[in-house]
């Protein structure tokens, strides 16, 4: 059975799965997700799709084939670059990586808890940054090459296994490794609710970004854009502070955003048959909510960031990226109308993959 058929069967069975005991559903989804991703790494499309030239855009001197690419967390160790390039993604993003290898979270005898709410077009995960470690993955990044002119980015984060200064030292070391590996851009993950504590990064954001400026940005050996990714739970009132900070320190872009921990707010967007699973997951594991419930917040935050940037005109080339609830042509059009430069998808990618398989980008982009 091919990978597309597996994804389709999962969608067909979704209404029946929702009536099973919540823990059983989450346990099965968590294991089947790992099995699916393993099989996905073994697949290469038989034909390559190259997006039409008019969809390409040049940002920071890098040619992106279109405005949509995968989000961090999909390919933590650099898997599937050839597949994504042949499918026609605008770019490829590996990670999120940490300096040290991490096994990820386990609770209630469930490893790497994950569940999809198919009828709600949403998902929850509490993975805990599982990855092979930057000291290994940078070597993988170095060998990926540049198939079909598909740019390569990497998401990095200070490991929660280290304390503040050691964490920052290792984060900068990771960024240097990927710079030397030849990646085209870096994305710093500043909001991950899926570590053991279930909380975002520790405080002192300004000090962390200042440290990276002094120890990496000012010492870059080439023009390597560095983007900072914040949560979709970021308050609108925080935008001026965050953007002024990024402008002044010389960062190259911002991404809104990561998954959400506003469980009560998003619960109303989960259809009733799936709410018991949602309640069990969020109360037992916490973690982050992704998918359609984040569509409005990601668009509003990214749109407001564009407006603020346009009013402030930072001296450097600075772009806004949107992540959260990206599924359809209408989402890409809304982003384009707002002046958002790039879109990243995760849950929406797999939703579309179930229908279109390796034509996932072709079907979406052919409508533009």
The alpha helices in the chain, defined as continuous H runs, are 3-17, 22-41, 81-87, 134-143, 164-181, 205-215, 239-249, 263-267, 272-284, 295-312, 329-338, 347-356, 360-365
CA-CA distance, 261 to 208, in Å (whole number)?
Answer: 23
Find how far residue 132's CA is from the centre of its chain.
17
- Total tally of structural domains belonging to the chain: 1
Bridge partner residues of 110 (DSSP) = 107
**Tens-digit pLDDT profile for residues 31-76:** 888 888 888 888 888 899 999 999 999 999 999 999 999 999 999 9
For 333, the domain range is 3-365
| Residue 194: closest CA among 292, 96, 307 | 96
C-alpha distance from residue 316 to each of 49, 98, 283, 322, 359 (Å): 33, 28, 43, 20, 36
Question: Is the per-residue pLDDT at 200 higher than 50?
Answer: no
Beta bridge partners of 291: 122
288 phi and psi angles, rounded to 5 deg: -120, 145
Here the CATH number for the domain that contains residue 267 is 3.20.20.70
260 three-class SS: strand
The DSSP code for 270 is S
Angle 175-361-326 (CA atoms, 0-180°, nearest 5)? 70
pTM for the whole structure: 0.93
Instruction: Check residue 7 and give its pLDDT.
Output: 59
User: For residue 148, what pLDDT is reported?
Assistant: 84
Condensed to tens digits (0 to 9), the pLDDT of residues 345-360 reads 999 999 999 889 999 9
pLDDT in tens, 82-119: 999 999 999 999 999 999 999 999 999 999 999 999 99
pLDDT digits (tens, 9 = 90+) for 235-261: 999 999 999 999 999 999 999 988 999
Instruction: Locate 130 and state its tokens.
Output: 């599982």
Closest by CA to 350, choosing from 29, 22, 27, 28, is 29
pLDDT value, residue 34: 87
Write out pLDDT tens, residues 273-283.
999 999 999 99
Kindly tell me the sign of the dihedral angle through the C-alpha atoms of 352, 272, 112, 161.
positive
Tokens of 194: 């899926």
Cis peptide before 96 (omega within 30 of 0): yes
Region of 255 please: left (phi>0), alpha (psi -120 to 50) or beta: beta
Q: Extract the tokens encoding 37.
A: 């991703």
């Amino acid at each position: 059975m091919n990978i597309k058929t597996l994804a389709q069967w999962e969608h067909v069975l979704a209404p029946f799965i929702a009536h099973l005991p919540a823990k059983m559903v989450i346990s099965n989804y968590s294991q089947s997700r790992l099995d699916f991703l393993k099989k996905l790494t073994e697949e290469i499309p038989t034909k390559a799709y190259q997006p039409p030239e008019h969809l390409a855009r040049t940002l920071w001197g890098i040619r992106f084939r279109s405005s949509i690419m995968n989000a961090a967390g999909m390919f933590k160790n650099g898997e599937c670059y050839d597949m994504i390039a042949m499918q026609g993604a605008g770019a490829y993003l590996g990670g999120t990586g940490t300096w040290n290898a991490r096994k990820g979270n386990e609770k209630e005898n469930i490893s790497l808890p994950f569940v999809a709410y198919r009828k709600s077009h949403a998902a929850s995960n509490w993975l805990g940054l599982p990855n092979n470690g930057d000291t290994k993955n940078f070597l993988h990044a170095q060998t990926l090459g540049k198939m079909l002119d598909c740019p390569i980015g990497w998401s990095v984060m200070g490991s929660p296994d280290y304390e503040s200064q050691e964490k920052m030292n290792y984060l900068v070391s990771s960024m240097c490794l990927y710079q030397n590996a030849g990646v085209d851009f870096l994305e710093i993950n500043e909001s991950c609710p899926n570590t053991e504590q279930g909380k975002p990064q520790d405080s002192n954001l300004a000090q962390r970004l200042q440290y990276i400026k002094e120890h990496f940005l000012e010492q870059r050996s080439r023009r390597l854009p560095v983007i900072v990714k914040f949560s979709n739970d970021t308050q609108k009132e925080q935008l001026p502070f965050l953007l002024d900070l990024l402008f002044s320190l010389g960062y190259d872009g911002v991404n809104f955003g990561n998954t959400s921990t506003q469980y009560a707010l998003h619960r109303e967007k989960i259809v009733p048959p799936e709410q018991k699973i949602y309640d069990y997951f969020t109360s037992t594991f916490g973690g982050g909510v992704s998918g359609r419930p984040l569509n409005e917040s990601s668009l509003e935050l990214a749109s407001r960031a564009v407006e603020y940037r346009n009013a402030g005109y930072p001296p450097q080339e600075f772009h806004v990226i949107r992540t959260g609830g990206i599924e359809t042509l209408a989402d890409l059009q809304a982003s384009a109308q707002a002046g958002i430069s790039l879109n990243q998808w995760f849950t929406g990618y797999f939703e579309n993959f179930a229908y279109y398989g390796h034509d996932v980008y072709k079907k979406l982009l052919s409508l533009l």
